[in-house]
Amino acid sequence: MEEKELDLWKVAVVGALSLVFFLGLWEIAVRAGLISAFFLPAPSQVVQRGGQMAAGHRPVLLGDVGSSARRVMAGFLLSALIGVPCGLVLGTSPWVRAAMNPVISILRPLPALSWIPLSIIWLGIGEKQKYAIVFMGCFASVLVYTTDATLRVNPTLRLAALNLGASRFQVLRHVILPGALPDILSGLKVVLAIAWTCVISAEMVGATGGLGFRIWTGKDLSDSSQVLVGMLCISVTVLVLDVAFRGLERLLLPWQKRGRGP
């Protein structure tokens, strides 16, 4: 039997209660001495440390969130700006596909981390190197998601447009792009999460700011609270971006039924 979906407010209430319960359990476990605060500080300690980092005598937290977010967006947007048009061409031309697939197959399995040594040799450890890491981590995925999305567009729609007198370019602009857009956007949502893992790795290896740097120096100072504050900031930022992305989807895809899919 299929279970009925819950009302939105019920989902919110149950979710909030579960979060409070989990955090409470954690807090009690630390205060009762079941867990050493050195290894895992209590939520209250993390919040306190977060407050210091955000508004204490050396406020660094917002700056860190800002630099990481800027690096993510720069690398991600660059990969989307180049990757989506290239993917559309790959999806519509079997010849280009045949020519490019071997190259993509070699690039795609490389983790962003494996680009860090080369990128440092080429670009040093400045901002450009961070953008490059995010770009290299995202580009191949954007390409593959876009190509697959293009190939899934109903071929009859292509015929219908040609039958109405569309040129090859008009088919691309008015049929292939809007037809593939829903799948491209869900692909980009996955890629945005990849971009965050890229930037955190890059900041841990060579940087003077950003959430990855802050987490890594927390480890050097044996300050677990600082590590947890950094991790929490990643979660929150990604959540905020995800909500923003959903808004963008609703804006760009008014024809799609709401509430379908995850």
Partner 1 sequence: MSDILIRAEAVTKVFTTRRGIVEALKDFSLEVHRGEVVCLVGASGCGKTTALNLMAGFLAPTTGRIVLEGREIHGIEPRCGMIFQSYALFPWMSVLENVSFGPRLRGVPRAERQARARRWLERTGLAEFQAAYPGELSGGMSQRVALCRALANEPEVLLCDEPFAALDAMTRQVLQEELLRVVQLSGQTVVFITHSIDEALILSDRVVVMSARPGRVRATYDNDLPRPRHLDVQLTERFLELKRQVWSLVEEEVGRALSMAASKAGH
Residues that bind partner 1 (CB under 8 A): 154, 156-157, 159-167, 170, 174-175, 178-179, 181, 253-257
Between 109 and 165, name the residue whose CB sits nearer to partner 1: 165
Between 176 and 215, name the residue whose CB sits nearer to partner 1: 176
Between 14 and 248, name the residue whose CB sits nearer to partner 1: 248
Least Å distance, CB 262 to partner 1, is 19
In terms of residues, how long is the chain?
262
Other C-beta atoms closer than 10 Å to the C-beta of 212 total 26
How is the chain classified by DSSP, letter by letter?
-PPPPPPHHHHHHHHHHHHHHHHHHHHHHHHTTSS-TTTS--HHHHHHHHHHHHHSSS--HHHHHHHHHHHHHHHHHHHHHHHHHHHHHHHH-HHHHHHHHHHHHHHTTS-GGGGHHHHHHHHTTSHHHHHHHHHHHHHHHHHHHHHHHHHTS-HHHHHHHHHTT--HHHHIIIIIHHHHHHHHHHHHHHHHHHHHHHHHHHHHHS-SSSHHHHHHHHHHTT-HHHHHHHHHHHHHHHHHHHHHHHHHHHHH-TTSPTT---
Between 114 and 167, name the residue whose CB sits nearer to partner 1: 167
Least Å distance, CB 162 to partner 1, is 4
Between 158 and 189, name the residue whose CB sits nearer to partner 1: 158
Least Å distance, CB 117 to partner 1, is 44
Q: Tell me, what amino acid is at 242?
A: D
Between 175 and 228, name the residue whose CB sits nearer to partner 1: 175
Least Å distance, CB 249 to partner 1, is 13
Least Å distance, CB 176 to partner 1, is 11
Between 105 and 154, name the residue whose CB sits nearer to partner 1: 154
Least Å distance, CB 245 to partner 1, is 19
Least Å distance, CB 160 to partner 1, is 4
